[in-house]
Structure 1
Amino acid sequence: MHTYDIAISFAGEDREIAEKLANSIVLKGFNVFYDDYEKANLWGKNLYDHLIKIYRDEAKYCLILISNNYAKKLWTNHERRAAQTRAIKENCEYILPLKLDDTDIDGILDTVGYIEYNHTKFEEIINLIEEKIQKFNEDHGIDYSIIELATVLKDAFPEFTAADATTKCPTCETYQSLTETKLQLDNGDTLYICKNGCQPIIVISRPEIVAWPGRGYRIGNFVIRNASDILIQTNEMKNPFKILARKAALMKAKPNDK
């Protein structure tokens, strides 16, 4: 299973564009490798080996922001070579070139289809990326299904059912059992929607998604993101168990560091 739907390779000088793209792709419900999302995860790692693995093995696509700055950088060429290894090995459309200027990059032929950033509407670029990822999922039989909280907590609370959990909607402030909420799938994330339709109140993120600090709790291969405290009380429990709310639980994109 790929950890990321798409990995973005870019020069530091083009970070503003890269971040805008990353945030917009995340809003579509996809998992993006963008270095600023993973500062804690990257801290202390051998970046040479780790980035090879990400750009060669762990994404469905690699989005390369081609520019004069990109051509000059050692690390970007390192990332590009890793991506090219994957593209050649699998003989697939793995690299998605997005040209920020007229620079040519070694190893990326003029015959490879590309998009020109300055001549394409931003929304169209995001929609094209969404189409590519969805087509990849269809071609590879990837069908994300609803994952309920009971599935995530089955090891810790084997007897737990949706009727054993209550939470509050931050909008209407109504307390409700999970049996009263509406379940919805959003690009691999399971949403528990307030019974009054106000907003998602719990999100179960799909396997391998990265949870930045303050956003959610990793339990096994899943991440629970709850806007209000979840109170769990089964018949076998003497005292209730509380999953505390996280401030950034429902944010789609990571807030800028202060």
Structure 2
Amino acid sequence: MPTYDIAISFAGEDRPLAERLASFLVAKGLNVFYDEYEQANLWGKDLYVHLSRIYKDEAKYCLMLVSEHYAKKQWTNHERRAAQARAFAENSEYILPLRLDDAQVDGILDTVGFLDYRKVSEEKIVDSIAHKVREYNRANGITYEFVKVEDVFAKQGIGPKGGQPIKDSDMRTTCPACGTEQLLSEGVLSLDDGETIYSCKNGCQPVVVVGRPGVVAWPGRGFRLGDYVVRNVRDIIVRTEEMGAAMLIPASSAALMKKRPVG
């Protein structure tokens, strides 16, 4: 099964748009390959081989930002060829072209359906991609879903009585790798074996994990809230305007451990 819902291929000059779209797609709950989210994972790898595998094998779709800059760059041509190999092998609509101008890119024919950024809103683009991913999941029997910390709070009725629900944007933690303080709503969401992973907004490492329903938390590895276990690497401070005092979810010393310690 592909690791990513969507992989974004773009030229450096078009990064501002790629970054906005990546952020909006993540907010939709999609697992996005965007290079700045993967800095730690890319460090030390043979990028020619690794990126070829990403764009050929590890995404459900490739969002290609087609522009005059895209047509001229060596790296984008490498990504494009990898994506085209996948599309050819599966004879499927794998590449989703988003035209930024009228540039011609080898292998992207005028007969291929595309969206035109000059005519379609970013919201419509994101909604269209999310729809494609949902259809892919339905066709392939993929039924997993993200469970956010705010979802767990809502299921347990945690929050000011009669007030607004507590959201991820009301919860703040710190990445142990880069020291950046951030809201949970700013984290990059992904799924790993049914667990919802919040990674640092800078792409450093996971900072919060929401375990699969029914998983038991051993000592030091998170806190059970109903059917779920929340595991946070650093303290989470929860604060809303309606709360008299902030709520603390203490850090879990073994938050990221996969196996129970022996002895």
Deviations 1:10-49 (A, max 9, x none): 0000001100110011110101000011111111110000
d(CA) in 1 for partners of 2:148, 2:16: 37
| Local SS of the residue matching 2:199 | coil
Q: Is the 8 A contact 1:231 1:242 kept in 2?
A: no
Aligned to 2:234: 244
Indicate if the aligned counterparts of 1:215 and 1:246 stay in contact, CA closer than 8 A. Answer: no
1:140-184: CA deviation from partner (whole Å, max 9, x where unpaired): 1111157799xxxxxxxxxxxxxxxxxxx9xxxxxxxx8xx444x
**1:57-87 CA-partner distances (Å, limit 9, x unpaired):** 0000000000000000000000000000000
Residue 234 of structure 2 aligns with an amino acid whose one-letter code is: L
Secondary structure of 1:64 counterpart: strand
Partner of 2:199: 211
Q: CA RMSD in A?
A: 3.4
Do the aligned residues in 2 keep the contact of 1:193 with 1:200 (CA within 8 Å)? no
Matches of 2:148 and 2:127, distance apart in 1 = 29
Equivalent residue, structure 2, for 1:66: 66
The answer for unaligned runs of 5 or more in structure 1 is: 150-168, 170-177, 184-191, 222-228, 233-240, 248-258
Distance 1:50 1:140 in 2: 25
Q: TM-score normalized by structure 2?
A: 0.65
Change in Cα spacing, 1:43 to 1:198, as seen in structure 2 (3 Å) is: same
CA-to-aligned-CA distance 1:104-137 (integer Å, 9 cap, x gap):
1101111100010011112111111111111111
Structure 1 Cα separation of the partners of residues 111 and 103 of structure 2: 14
Residue 165 of structure 2 aligns with which residue? 198
SS in structure 1 at match of 2:23: helix
8 Å CA contact retained: 1:182, 1:193:
yes
Shift of 1:198: 2.3
Q: What 5-or-longer segments of structure 2 have no aligned partner? A: 172-183, 213-220, 225-230, 238-263
How far, CA to CA, are the matches of 1:242 and 1:147 in structure 2?
Answer: 15
- State the SS of the aligned residue for 2:7: strand
What residue in structure 2 maps to residue 189 of structure 1?
Answer: none
Letter in 1 for 2:166: Q
Partners of 2:86 and 2:28 in 1: CA distance: 25
Q: Is the 8 A contact 2:84 2:95 kept in 1?
A: yes
Are 2:6 and 1:6 aligned? yes
Written as runs of structure 1 = structure 2, the 5 A alignment for 1:91-102 is 91-102=91-102
- For the pair 1:87 / 2:83, whether they are aligned, the reply is no
Larger CA deviation: 36-45 vs 200-209: 200-209
- Quote the sequence identity (%): 49
In 2, the alpha carbon distance for the partners of 1:205 and 1:117 equals: 27
Match of 1:28 in 2: 28
| Cα deviation, residue 246, structure 1 | 5.3
Residue in structure 1 matched with residue 57 of structure 2 by the alignment: 57
TM-score w.r.t. the length of structure 1 is 0.66
Count, aligned residues:
196
